[in-house]
Amino acid sequence: MLKYNHIIFLFFLITFISCTENIKKDKHQFTNDLVHETSPYLLQHAHNPVNWKAWNEKSLATAKKENKLIVISVGYAACHWCHVMEEESFEDSIVAKIMNKNFMNIKVDREERPDVDKVYMKAVQLMTGSGGWPLNIIALPDGRPIFGGTYFPREQWLKILEQTAEGFKNRPEDFYAFADKLEAGIKDLDLIHLNTAKPVFTKPYIEKEVEKWRASFDTNFGGTNNPPKFMMPNSYQFLMRYAHQNDDKKLMQHVENTLHKMAFGGIFDQINGGFSRYSVDKKWHIPHFEKMLYDNAQLVSLYSSAYQLTKDETYKEIVFETLDFIKKELTSPEGMFYSSLDADSYNHNNILEEGAYYYWTKATLKTLLKNNFNLFSKYYNINDFGFWEENKFVLIKTVDDVTFSKENNISISKLKEYKINWKKILREEQEKRKKPRLDNKSLTSWNALMIKGYVDAYTVFNEKSFLDAALKNARFIIKNQLLEDGKLYHNYKEGKSTINGYLEDYAALIEAFIELHQVTSDEIWLQKAKKLTTYAIDHFYDETSKMFYFTSKKDAPLVAKTVEYQDNVIASSNSIMAKNLFALSHHLSDKKYLEMATSMLNNMKPKIVDHAASFSNWLAVMLNYTNPYYEVVIVGKDAKQKLAALHKNYIPNILISHSDKASKLPLLENRFIDNETYIYVCVNSSCKLPVTTIFETLKFMEK
């Protein structure tokens, strides 16, 4: 009898454990407030047992009313470690119980709410010396941070939650005292003092800062010395321009080596095109596999410029393959651009795994490629150099196609045939795999970067489809994201435009519209750029510091009001605005814009010292002052043909205005003559006599 009862007890115990495990794993039986959101990242957490709220006034007011600490967890849809922490902690019923009892829990999509992310990222950097995502903050009921970090394993997170809740209950005055100090520190980080010294920008100043920057270069694999390696497109745009304008061959060698190593590495998808976010190793081999729109947009611009300068076919191939990836994977039918592809995808065991869509095993490759495997393995290094882990390989090249064809005694044309065939076979195999998840929201700032990428590619390669894609997206933004008074929305998803635009939206879109004007001659883009600039000045500009706040004066206040001025993987919104104001001052003959740009750049001079890598776009603006800056005006019936010929040359210190008809724009007015085409080269509104050929134009600029 005892034996029978024991068996019955075990049966019920096993059943109970099984049910408990099912409850823990089947997150879809839970629902929280995030089910009402549009962000793919927030929706990923909509069925966690944690009672997540979105960042809004109601959630913050409830925390204050109930005197509850706030957990603010920030991430994005393509973030691998965000998924790991969700699986380990936020889907765990024990963790959820503690969080729900003691905290107001708020999930934030850092891409939708970069303002919130920036404030709390600064807090974590002050507390820990570093930052990243997932970003996890514990804040007082008034939103001021008291603890923070990035990824925490489950047991550590539990201890943090329990100790913080207990501490706040017993010693709230300590928490408030610490929050006061941290708040002051956050505000100090973004404090910009107006530089009242006379603006003086010199070549020796830039040269000195570049010289100090060189110490961080990896002279073997390119980029910086220490992994992880981010691609930093605006840094290499500046370094390429500086090297070219100063005939610095050693620096140009570093730039070209970096561009080649990135193009050859696993960070570039050798089969489908497009770049991943960063490399975890020094040779650009193993990426953090998410693919972000903003990276690829800027890299299209960078590689287009590099081809314009060098005529290196590798760079052209990268541009075309990246844009092919954008067209296939990140473009909607209406012409908007999606945000990203996830780092994770479901493997053959139906488990989310980082890089599962992209890696290959030697056995699979041998089966697919048969007699071609040996040549393929040489080309893509299916050997110790290309090995990742376990039995996995990520494709990586070591030499360009010309070198490889010579080393293997095959023609370039034959190698091209092989590559087309290999990619076709491997793409067909990948079609059997589950694709990485798509973040299908559209961000105005990132779309604007992609417009610029397409325009830059069109400028260099004269492919009409590139310009068509740029124009289609620009018109989409005008229709859906831009209001009559110049106000922009930041976010778009499934027919809904939401979230008041940030400075990054205005800055990036103004720059894109200026470029569209320069390649199309359509004055509507310059008019739109001016209107957006007026709105930004009215709603973001601080008269005291002569800089722009990241958030509009109409937005609800956060712990601190951020001034974004350091260039990172994307150039800072203030540096882009300074560049825009400089360009518009020439296009519109407006001295006020030039004064604003000059003052902003002058504010940065003390900050750039010893930190050039964090101010690369500012240094690019400074080159406009230290080197001749040309206004090239092409007017007449053959203006477009002359423009295309001029674009074959890399001239970074140039602003172009062209028209095949009469115009009232300051640079074009009174310069049109029937049946003639003239080119004017001007510096600071002082113009040479008009010429009729590109050869003569270039000669003027050489002198």
Q: What is the pLDDT of residue 276?
A: 98
- At 31, the pLDDT band (50, 70, 90 cuts) reads confident
pLDDT tens profile 188-209: 888 899 999 999 999 999 999 9
Q: How far apart are CA 96 and CA 157, in angstroms?
A: 11
Cα three-residue angle 547-553-559, rounded to 5 degrees: 85
Cα(665)–Cα(655) distance, integer angstroms: 14
Distance CA 547, CA 581 (A): 12
Confirm if 533 and 545 have CB atoms less than 8 A apart.
no
| Distance separating alpha carbons of residues 343 and 83, to the nearest angstrom | 10
pLDDT band at 703, cuts 50/70/90? low
3-class DSSP assignment, residue 1: coil
How far is residue 593's CA from residue 589's CA, in Å, rounded to a whole number? 9
pLDDT at position 7 over 50:
no
Give yes or no for a contact between 74 and 116, defined as CB atoms under 8 angstroms apart.
Answer: yes
DSSP H or E segment with residue 584: helix 573-587
User: Domain ranges in the chain?
Assistant: 31-189, 203-346+439-626, 358-432, 630-702
The CATH code of domain 31-189 reads 3.40.30.10
Q: What are phi and psi of 600, to 5 degrees?
A: -60, -45
Angstrom distance (rounded) from CA 487 to CA 506? 9
Do the domains 203-346+439-626 and 31-189 match in fold? no
How much is the pTM? 0.94
Structure confidence at residue 4 (pLDDT):
39
Residue appearing with tokens 């890399």? 650
pLDDT above 60 for 16: no
Mean pLDDT estimate for the chain: 94
Q: Which SS3 state, helix, strand or coil, does residue 348 take?
A: coil
Give residue 11's pLDDT band: very low, low, confident or very high (50, 70, 90): very low
pLDDT digits (tens, 9 = 90+) for 145-182: 999 999 999 999 999 999 999 999 999 999 999 999 99
Report whether pLDDT(90) > 50: yes
- Asked whether the predicted pLDDT for residue 23 surpasses 80, the reply is no
What are the tokens at 75?
A: 């991430």
Question: Beta strand pairing status for 278-279 and 287-288?
Answer: antiparallel
Reduced to 3 states, what is the DSSP secondary structure of residue 609?
Answer: coil
Cα–chain center distance at 319: 17
Strands laid side by side in the 496-500 sheet: 442-443, 489-493, 496-500
Of 23-32, 260-269, 282-291, least confident by mean pLDDT is: 23-32
**Each residue's pLDDT tens digit, 324-370:** 999 999 999 999 999 999 999 999 999 999 999 999 999 999 999 99
455 in Cβ contact with 509 (< 8 Å): no
**What are the start-end ranges of the H helices in 488-589?**
503-520, 523-540, 573-587
Residue 457 has a pLDDT of 98
- Residue 151 three-state SS: coil
Domain 203-346+439-626 in CATH 3.50.50.60? The answer is no
